[in-house]
Amino acid sequence: MAMPGTSQNAVSRQGVRLTPTEIRVLSLIAQGFSSQDAADNLVVSKRTVDFHLANVYQKLQVRNRVQAIRSASQLGLIPNDPMQGASGNEA
């Protein structure tokens, strides 16, 4: 199953692996955040968010945000309800 050192990555039943950052970015997008809003939330540039989204699209073999969210949710990589456990922020 998961190889040593990969336990922090989310791995679907089909073997698709998303990094913790990719999951955070996709979860924020699933909550309705724009790329810029997600970048502000994560304290990174919009370009960084878009880079992570591009990686997610490639890994999930999708073309857009809606497809990525749907696929990741169906694969169990993000919660069906993106408001659950997606934040990762300190209050």
Residue 18 has pLDDT above 70, yes or no: yes
pLDDT in tens, 25-68: 999 999 999 999 999 999 999 999 999 999 999 999 999 999 99
Which CATH number describes the domain made up of 17-74? 1.10.10.10
* pLDDT higher than threshold 80 for residue 2: no
Instruction: Report which of 88, 82, 84, 76 is spatially closest to residue 26, judged by C-alpha positions.
Output: 82
| pLDDT of 84 higher than 90 | no
**How large is the angle between the packed helices 46-60 and 20-30, nearest 10 degrees?**
100
Over residues 6-34, the mean pLDDT reads 84
Give CA–CA dist 33/26, Å, rounded.
9
φ, ψ for residue 44 (rounded to 5)?
-135, 175
CA distance 91 to 76: 26
pLDDT at residue 3 tops 50: no
31, 82 Cβ separation under 8 angstroms: yes
CB 45 within 8 A of CB 38: no
In tens, the pLDDT along 22-31 reads 999 999 999 9
